[in-house]
Structure 1
Amino acid sequence: MIEFKDVCMRFDDKDALKHISLTIRDGETLAIIGGSGSGKSTFLRLLIGLIKPTSGQILIDGQDIVPMSEAELNKVRLKMGMVFQYSALFDSMTVGENVAFGLREHTKLSDADIKEIVHDKLHLVGLDGVEDMMPNELSGGMKKRVSLARAIAVEPSIICYDEPSSGLDPLMTEKIDELIVNTQKALSVTSIVVTHDMASACRISDRIAMIYDGELIAVDTVERFKKIQDARVQAFFRTLRTVKSEKEDER
């Protein structure tokens, strides 16, 4: 589905990504983890074509998107849905209008068909009857769900999540993780989840990839990833064990 081939990204005098080569399989959920400034968000921006790499190739369905024009990229982006870190809903639009936005921009569907799709997608994310609500009436978790409903409204084959648990409490984070898993199962999409939350990555992923200081240092299934003896990988798992221990103490 997606392949990065020896991708480098340099901003001024800083190497944000260094020789990244990674294949993302059709229908899998891949979590990309790393600390702040590691390069994981740059990876996502490259994938959706917001920026172009300094060197290397980025293939989606066998097409290299790097040399594409903006018009060509827009056609490729129709295969993608994006769930932003802070939901990025339009404050002046109702929930229904937010979910319908991509359909109105990129299709010639009738109002009746769009209304039906909006209803179906909101139902899929567990939000029935909220079409007429405004974003400022929603909780943080509800906004994330609306953002996902908007992303899947155009039937993408790829869904990208940018820090989906950011700003949420642990209980709501688990619910969003469950939603990501259920969406992948229901739609058979390829999911790329950028996160710093190790517990979340373990719950949702088929594989985990870790970027550290711009380098891809590890890629493997969740169970095998846990056994990688690289000190940088194990540091992330220590934070996970610390969080678990704190929860147990609270109980």
Structure 2
Amino acid sequence: MLAGATAKRRAGAGRLIFAAALTLVTLVSAGLCIWQVQRRSWKLDLIARVEARVHAAPVTAPGPLEWRAIAADTAEYRRVALQGRYLETPETLTMAVTERGPGFWVIAPFRADSGFTVLVNRGFVPEDRRGVEERRKVAGEQARVVGLLRLTEPGGGFLRANDPAAGRWYSRDVAAIASARGLGEVAPYFVDADAASEPGPLPQGGMTQVSFRNTHLIYALTWFCLALLSAGGLIFVLRGKAGEETPAS
């Protein structure tokens, strides 16, 4: 009799712990589902804002007085225009993987007529055509550049750090490139030139990939299903406990 009561108490305690765990899983899953729905709404709004910037008429590229106010949520992918000339400083090649295969972005310093220097991503060159003689010469010539404002990419990319001393660049790190080329102060952003500004054949401009990963709906549904399953398990456990506690007639 005593052994039976002890076993019953242990079973009841185990059921209580299981019910508590199911409650926690339900609440956490429901919270994560709501969070993913909110993130999806934010991402769709971001995509809409970026699409509007990409297709808007170009505005003058921000000068030094505006640099402090530049932020990703308001400036990234803004269509801008520059009037000036490319400097004689050697271009910098940074690793790229595009729809045309692996290769490099050609980064060139540009001096705006308004008096500041900005790095311009002239466009893409394939891996086997990286030589200076392969691309259109622009150093010293007056030009109008229209393209998308992009924020600096510090550190590196492709799981590798930039190595300025060896001339190996895996990201478009504005400050590091400017330092390596002795450019002094430059804009804290670079400009991806469009196809009209860099018609090619090399480098090929207008290859900016404007895409955002948006899997929030899938994650939201996953967390919703988990919350539903754990809630169902909790109801089953509680009903089983209630059935055991009901005295037989």
- TM range, normalised to the smaller chain? under 0.3
TM-score by length of 1: 0.22
Larger radius of gyration: 2
